[in-house]
A = this chain, B = another copy of it.
Amino acid sequence: MTAIRSDLGWSTPDRIVVRGRDLPGEILGRLNLGDMAYFELTGNFPNEKQSRLFNAMAVTLVEHGVTPSALAARLTYLGAPEAMQAAVAAGLCGLGSVFVGSMEGAAKLLSEAVKEKKNAETIVAENKRIPGLGHPLHKPVDPRSVRLFEIARDTGHYGKYCELMEELARLKKLTLNATGAIGALACELGLDWRAVRGIGVMARAVGLVGHLLEESRQPMAEAVWHQVEEQASQHLKK
C-alpha cells in the first residue's frame, strides 16, 4: 500500500507553503503565472531565460480561435451558465490524442531517441507518423514554431532536441507545427514528457475562460445549435 502523502502544499494558521516555499513571502509578486506553472512541474523557480521560454510555450497554446474545445465549452455554458467551471471542464475533456496528444508524442519520441542515440533517419524509418509534423493550414512553415525557436536561441535553449525535430521535418517534408516545436522545447527545458500534455491543458483553460466571457456577452452557441440541428435532421423531415 502506498502512503497518503503529498509534498505540494500545506498551511498553518499563519503560514502557507507551496513546495517548500512561503507563498506570500517568496512567491507572490515574484513569480508570474507561467513561472508558477514551471515551479509546479519542476519544483524549481525558473531563471529569467527559462521563464521567458516556458511562458512563450504556454502562451502559444492559450487561444486557437473557434476550436472543437471552445465550441464544447460554449455549448455547455448555454445550458448551465451558473456553472462556468463545468463549461471549462467540458472544453478540456477533448484535449486528447488528436490535438494536444501530438505535443506529448513529440516530446516522448525526442527524449527517447536522444537517450538511445538515434538519428533522424532511424526515427523516420521506425515511425510511420512523426507527431508534431504537418499542419492543414500553416504551410510551408508554422509562424509559431519559427518564433518559438527564435526565443529558444535568444535564451540559450536551442539544442539537440530542436535540431532533431527540424531535421525530422526536413526529411518528411512537412511543416514543423507548434506542437512539435513545444515538444522539443519541453525536452530542452528538461521537463518530463508526461507533463507536456499538462502545459496544453492549463493554457487552454485560460483560453476557454476567454471564450466563455465572450459567449456571455456575444453569444453564438444557441445559433450554432439551431443551425446544426436543422442541417442534421433535414433528411428525416421530408
| Interface residues of A, Cβ cutoff 8 Å to B | 1-19, 23-25, 27-29, 31-37, 40-41, 51-52, 55-56, 58-60, 62-73, 75-100, 137-139, 141, 143-144, 146-148, 150-151, 154, 192, 194-195, 197-199, 201-203, 205-207, 209-214, 216, 218-229, 231-233, 235-237
Contact = CB atoms under 8 A, between A and B. Distances in A.
A220 B233 CA distance: 12
Given A9-B65, A59-B31, A220-B5, A86 B88 contact: no
Contacts of A12: 137, 237
Contacts of A33: 32-34, 37, 55, 58-59, 62, 203, 206
Contacts of A31: 55, 59
A137 B62 contact: no
5 contacts: A8-B211, A28-B59, A29-B56, A29-B147, A72-B72
Contacts of A197: 84-85
Given A33-B32, A78-B98, A68 B225 contact: yes
A195 B206 CA distance: 11
B213 A209 contact: no
Contact of A100 (B67, B85, B195): B85
Given A33-B55, A90-B94, A224-B228, A10 B213 contact: no
